[in-house]
């Protein structure tokens, strides 16, 4: 199977057919699984026999979802979680001991930033941030107790791009792990393992689901690391529900075709915005004006569905732009069929200190658009009337 192309793997990787010969994989809503006799039960718990024991550990729907993501990312193994943050936290909690140190890009998802700054200090785990535009400073932040380098690319909400090949070279030189949150790109657009990443994390809630229905998360990568993450998760219980896995596995069947259209719409919208007089600047990885356009072209198949742009008029300009939006949704989610606009400075990042905001590239007039699957003419016309 694994010599097949991405789209084929997404459609044809399925759980074994049951005695009912169903074509579409059924939903296995069961908390536990039964054994024939004491010996089978003993051998299964001793892991001499590979099978499902209890849905906190594994479940056929969850296994199918994980298998697909592994094939898509070129990973050896994986584990699925109830949410993206459960994947991020469980991965960190497994890898890190008290006294360890992490180097991370400062432009990370808000809740991940919260883990680094609010909870890790109480376990004596320290985090040093590098600015997305100053990657030459990364090496100077690495210490003898640094466990891993962490980054998202493209970043949220600034849509900056980090060079995966460059990050990996640093990690290999200093013998630390490279952990990438690949949520914005999806495995269809970018596979960090090809560039040497040891672990790749996803919030499946975003483009993987693609329709804003369920939460989910997944970590894939090196077998021996996933084994440790599995042992942690099996005790602590952050596993993905079979229902969400069933929904998400079906969603992955259409990931490529959906993402193609998302990216086509996003490039058209970014091009429109760039030419608009009320727009100061636009950042989209596949616009030639993006500072890391060449890196984006090297490591991404297409530019993704997220655009950042600066509305003229600062905080008030951003707020009144949002108020004038008629069709698009004002919501915190992203990667939905419906186009979503957010204004981080007055919402998600309203309470963040000025210097932290600046380091994450959040300016007062910054608007983030998660471009959906409506007809591009209607998306453009809504943003156009709101700008005017």
Ligand X SMILES: *Cc1c(COP(=O)(O)O)cnc(C)c1O
Task: Tell me: does residue 183 bind ligand X (CB under 6 A).
Answer: yes
| Residue whose pair of structure tokens reads 């990370």 in the numeric block | 108
Question: Which position among 78, 212, 217, 303 is part of the footprint of ligand X (CB under 6 A)?
Answer: 217
The residues pairing with 127 across neighbouring beta strands, listed in sequence order, are 102
**Residue 192 binds to ligand X (criterion: CB under 6 A):** no
Q: Which of 215, 296, 362, 376 binds ligand X (CB under 6 A)?
A: 215
**Which helix H or strand E contains 257, and what residues bound it?**
helix 255-274
The residue among 13 and 370 lying less far from ligand X, judged by its C-beta, is 370
Collect all residues with Cβ–Cβ distance below 8 Å to 38 and sequence separation of at least 6: none
Q: 167 or 279: whose CB is closer to ligand X?
A: 167
- Which one of the spans 77-85, 123-131, 270-278, 283-291 is the region binding ligand X (CB under 6 A)? 77-85
In whole angstroms, how far apart are CA 117 and each of 34, 146, 180, 313? 44, 16, 19, 32
What does DSSP say about strands 279-283 and 306-311: parallel, antiparallel, or unpaired?
A: antiparallel
Q: Which residue is nearest to ligand X (CB)?
A: 84
Check residue 83 for interaction with ligand X (CB under 6 A): yes
- Binding ligand X (rule: CB under 6 A), the pick from 63, 146, 156, 251 is 156
**C-alpha span between 26 and 208 (Å, rounded):** 20
User: Pick from 25, 72, 80, 85: which binds ligand X (CB under 6 A)?
Assistant: 85
Nearer of residues 15 and 83 to ligand X, judged by Cβ: 83
Among the listed residues 74, 95, 72, the one whose alpha carbon sits nearest the alpha carbon of residue 178: 95
Using CB under 6 A as the binding criterion, the count of chain residues that bind ligand X stands at: 15
In the bound state with ligand X, the residue whose beta carbon lies nearer, of 201 and 287, is 201
Q: Cα(84)–Cα(183) distance, rounded to whole angstroms?
A: 9
Count other Cβ atoms within 10 Å, centred on residue 275: 8
Establish if 181 lies at the interface with ligand X (CB under 6 A). Answer: yes
Whichever of 156 and 339 has its CB closer to ligand X, that residue is 156
Segment lying near ligand X (by CB under 6 A), choices 135-143, 180-188, 270-278, 364-372: 180-188
Query: How far apart are alpha carbons 55 and 77 in whole angstroms?
Result: 18
Query: Within 119-163, where are the H helices?
Result: 138-141
Find the shortest distance in angstroms from Cβ 76 to ligand X: 22
**Contacts with ligand X, 309-338, as mask; x by CB under 6 A:** ------------------------------
Cα 15 to Cα 105: distance, rounded to the nearest angstrom: 38
Among 10, 65, 79, 84, binds ligand X (CB under 6 A): 84
Is 216:80 a contact under the CB 8 Å cutoff? Answer: yes
Radius of gyration in angstroms for the set of CA atoms belonging to the chain, rounded to a whole number: 21
| Residue 205 touches ligand X, criterion: CB under 6 A | yes
Residues 101-120 that bind ligand X (CB under 6 A): 109
Contacts of 350 (CB under 8 A, 6+ apart): none
* 344 binds ligand X, rule: CB under 6 A: no
Residue among 185 and 279 whose Cβ is closer to ligand X: 185
Token readout for 139 is 């090496």
Q: Taking the complex as a whole, how short is the minimal distance between the CB of residue 86 and ligand X, in angstroms?
A: 7
Residue whose CB is less far from ligand X, 114 or 291: 114
Residue 283: Cβ within 10 Å count: 27
* Binding interface with ligand X (CB under 6 A): 83-85, 88, 109, 152, 156, 181, 183-184, 203, 205-206, 215, 217
């Amino acid at each position: 199977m694994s010599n097949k192309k991405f789209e084929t793997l997404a459609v044809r990787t399925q759980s074994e057919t049951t005695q009912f010969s169903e074509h579409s994989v059924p939903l296995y809503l069961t908390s536990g699984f039964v054994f024939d006799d004491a010996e089978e039960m003993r051998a299964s718990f001793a892991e001499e026999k590979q099978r499902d024991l209890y849905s906190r550990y594994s479940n056929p729907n969850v296994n199918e979802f994980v298998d697909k993501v592994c094939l898509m990312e070129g990973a050896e193994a994986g584990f699925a979680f109830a949410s993206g943050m459960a994947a991020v936290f469980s991965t960190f909690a497994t890898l890190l001991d008290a006294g360890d140190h992490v180097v991370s890009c400062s432009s990370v998802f808000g809740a991940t930033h919260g883990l680094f700054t609010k909870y890790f200090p109480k376990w004596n785990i320290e985090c040093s941030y590098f600015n997305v535009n100053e990657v030459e400073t990364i090496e100077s932040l690495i210490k003898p107790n640094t466990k891993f380098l962490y980054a998202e690319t493209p970043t949220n909400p600034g849509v900056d791009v980090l060079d995966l090949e460059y990050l990996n070279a640093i990690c290999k030189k200093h013998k630390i792990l490279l952990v990438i949150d690949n949520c914005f790109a999806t495995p269809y657009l970018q596979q960090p393992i090809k560039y040497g990443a040891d672990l790749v994390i996803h919030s499946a809630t975003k483009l993987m689901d693609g329709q804003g229905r369920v939460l989910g998360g997944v970590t894939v990568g090196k077998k021996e690391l996933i084994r440790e993450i599995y042992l942690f998760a099996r005790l602590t219980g952050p596993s993905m529900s079979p229902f969400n896995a069933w929904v998400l596995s079906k969603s992955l069947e259409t990931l490529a075709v959906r993402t193609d259209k998302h990216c086509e719409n996003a490039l058209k919208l970014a091009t429109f915005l760039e030419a608009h007089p009320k727009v100061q600047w636009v950042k989209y990885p596949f616009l030639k004006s993006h500072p890391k356009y060449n890196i984006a072209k090297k490591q991404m198949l297409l530019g993704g569905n997220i655009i950042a742009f600066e509305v003229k008029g600062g905080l008030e300009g951003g707020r009144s732009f949002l108020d004038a939006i008629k069709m698009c949704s004002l919501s915190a989610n992203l990667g939905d069929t419906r186009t979503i606009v957010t204004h981080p400075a007055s919402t998600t990042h309203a309470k963040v200190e000025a210097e932290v905001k600046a380091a994450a590239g959040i300016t007062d007039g910054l608007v983030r658009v998660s471009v959906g699957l409506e007809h591009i003419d209607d998306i453009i016309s809504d943003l156009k009337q709101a700008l005017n």
